[in-house]
Amino acid sequence: MKLVKTASGKKLKISKKEWQSIGKKAGWMKKAREEGFEGKSPQIQENIKKVAPNPDAFSGNDSCAICKAKVNPETDFKDELSIKEWKISRMCQKCQDGFFE
Ligand SMILES: [Zn+2]
């Protein structure tokens, strides 16, 4: 299994193939990763929202983009890296733990 480094510096736990199939299915992850989300133009943000499993996660609603769990950014993340990842992909700590080393 090849470890893939993500924009936040985290390493993916799943294989590149799995990652790509998730990305292909949803398309959002790739967009969010390549482009980031915060500080992006409304058009790009709209595009990301359109393909995310849980678009509300990108609408100022602090919920996970994958499992839709409520997220409290102040308390739910175990380190700076996880918070950084949250800002990029809107994944909760649990989903991050499933995805990353
Ligand atoms: Zn989640």
pLDDT in tens, 59-68: 778 999 889 9
Q: Is the pLDDT of residue 26 over 70?
A: no
Q: Is the pLDDT of residue 74 over 70?
A: yes
CB neighbour class for 27 (10 Å; exposed up to 12, middle 13-18, buried from 19): middle
How far are the Cα atoms of 10, 74, 75 from residue 33, in angstroms, in the given order?
Answer: 12, 22, 24
Q: Is the pLDDT of residue 48 over 70?
A: no
Q: Is the pLDDT of residue 9 over 50?
A: yes
User: CB neighbours of 72 closer than 8 A, spacing ≥ 6?
Assistant: 62
What average pLDDT does range 42-47 have in this prediction? Answer: 72
pLDDT of residue 1: 42
- The rounded Å distance from CA 71 to ligand 1 centre is 8
- The rounded Å distance from CA 90 to ligand 1 centre is 8
- The rounded Å distance from CA 35 to ligand 1 centre is 21
How far are the Cα atoms of 5, 27, 88 from residue 49, in angstroms, in the given order?
Answer: 23, 10, 13
- The rounded Å distance from CA 43 to ligand 1 centre is 25
